[in-house]
């Protein structure tokens, strides 16, 4: 079985009747949403989903999963989402699929977050994967210049058609090619205070459980309860 599919299906087992479930974005999350859709249809599982992107919303609606917006629920019981890199101390980079802002908002109001990845996403230290920074388009070139001065090797993200990428929130993304992030907390704090930065892809102290798809089967790591 595809390793991402393995992790996605395993994670869907954590979803229980009555839960409000945050539905992540990306190719791994897609398998999880498919499996939840199957459980809704075949097992009569009764949940409300809160999606983290237009893409996931389209998928969930097509599968018949009942949905509410993040502002229509008091909290989210459990969010299941993918990740681009997870370090040894379970900090993460997300946003490869450009959904980091909504993903972070949903994660923030979730009681528990499960990340689902294939084993290639587990790294010693974060940073090989370019760190996405979501920015307001107005003044974005000034931020690119600032990041260049800092040696962050910034690249404004474009679509496969080479048009400027626009996120679901109407923003741009600057990918920082850092190679290594020695102090994610300090970097996150620095990015948080920059004018024009809406959010960044460092997801720090967020995850409760990691499910890793590997050749030997899915491995579940409980980070915190
Ligand atoms: C989207 C994300 C994704 O969860 C992340 O990019 C992982 O994607 P995939 O499962 O396709 O490898 O953060 O913004």
DSSP, residue by residue, 113-132: EEEEEEGGGB-SSS-SSPEE
- Residue among 3, 7, 11, 26 whose CB has most ligand 1 atoms within 8 A, to mutate: 26
d(CA 81, ligand 1 centre) in Å: 8
pLDDT of residue 225: 63
Q: Is 201 annotated as a binding residue?
A: no
**Spatial CA neighbour of 202 closest among 189, 188, 186, 191:** 188
pLDDT tens-digit profile, the chain (225 residues):
799 999 999 999 999 999 999 999 999 999 999 999 999 999 999 999 999 999 999 999 999 999 999 999 999 999 999 999 999 999 999 999 999 999 999 999 999 999 999 999 999 999 999 999 999 999 999 999 999 999 999 999 999 999 999 999 999 999 999 999 999 999 999 999 999 999 999 999 999 999 999 999 999 999 976
186 and 89, same domain (yes or no): no
Q: How far apart are the first and last CA of the chain?
A: 29
Q: Is 182 annotated as a binding residue?
A: no
194, burial (CB in 10 Å: exposed 0-12, middle 13-18, buried 19+): middle
Q: How many domains is the chain built from?
A: 2
d(CA 116, ligand 1 centre) in Å: 9
Spell out the residues 6+ positions from residue 151 whose beta carbon is closer than 8 angstroms to its own.
none
Q: Which of 35, 103, 134, 199 is catalytic?
A: 103
**How far apart are alpha carbons 185 and 204 in whole angstroms?**
7
Half-sphere exposure of 111 (CA within 13 A, CB side): 11
116 and 185, same domain (yes or no): no
Q: Identify the CATH number of the domain in which residue 182 sits.
A: 3.30.70.260
225 is catalytic: no
d(CA 174, ligand 1 centre) in Å: 16
SS3 content of the chain, % helix, strand, coil (to 5): 30, 30, 40
Domain boundaries, position 59: 3-123+204-222
179 and 99, same domain (yes or no): no
38 and 118, same domain (yes or no): yes
50 and 87, same domain (yes or no): yes
* Pair of tokens at residue 85: 């890199």
CA 136 distance to own-chain centroid = 20
Q: Identify the CATH number of the domain in which residue 19 sits.
A: 3.40.50.1360
CA 223 distance to own-chain centroid = 17
Task: Name the residue at shortest CA distance from atom 1 of ligand 1.
Answer: 97
- pTM recorded for the entire structure: 0.97
């Amino acid at each position: 079985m595809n390793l991402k599919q393995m992790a996605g299906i395993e994670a869907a087992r954590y979803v229980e009747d009555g839960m409000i479930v945050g539905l992540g974005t990306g190719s791994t999350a897609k398998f999880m949403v498919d499996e939840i859709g199957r459980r809704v249809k075949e097992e009569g599982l009764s949940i409300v989903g809160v999606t983290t992107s237009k893409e996931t919303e389209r998928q969930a609606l097509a599968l018949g999963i009942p949905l509410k917006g993040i502002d229509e629920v008091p909290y989210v019981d459990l969010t299941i989402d993918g990740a681009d890199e997870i370090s040894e101390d379970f900090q993460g980079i997300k946003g490869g699929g450009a959904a980091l802002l909504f993903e972070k908002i949903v994660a923030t109001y979730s009681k528990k977050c499960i990340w689902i990845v294939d084993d290639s996403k587990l790294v010693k230290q974060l940073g090989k994967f370019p760190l996405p920074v979501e920015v307001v388009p107005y003044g974005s070139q000034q931020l690119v210049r600032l990041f260049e001065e800092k040696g962050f090797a910034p690249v404004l993200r474009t679509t496969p058609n080479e048009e400027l990428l626009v996120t679901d929130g109407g923003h741009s993304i600057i990918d920082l090619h850092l190679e290594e992030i020695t102090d994610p907390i300090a970097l996150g704090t620095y990015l948080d205070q920059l004018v024009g930065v809406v959010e960044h892809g460092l997801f720090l102290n967020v995850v409760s459980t990691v499910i890793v798809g590997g050749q030997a089967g899915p491995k579940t790591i409980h980070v915190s309860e």
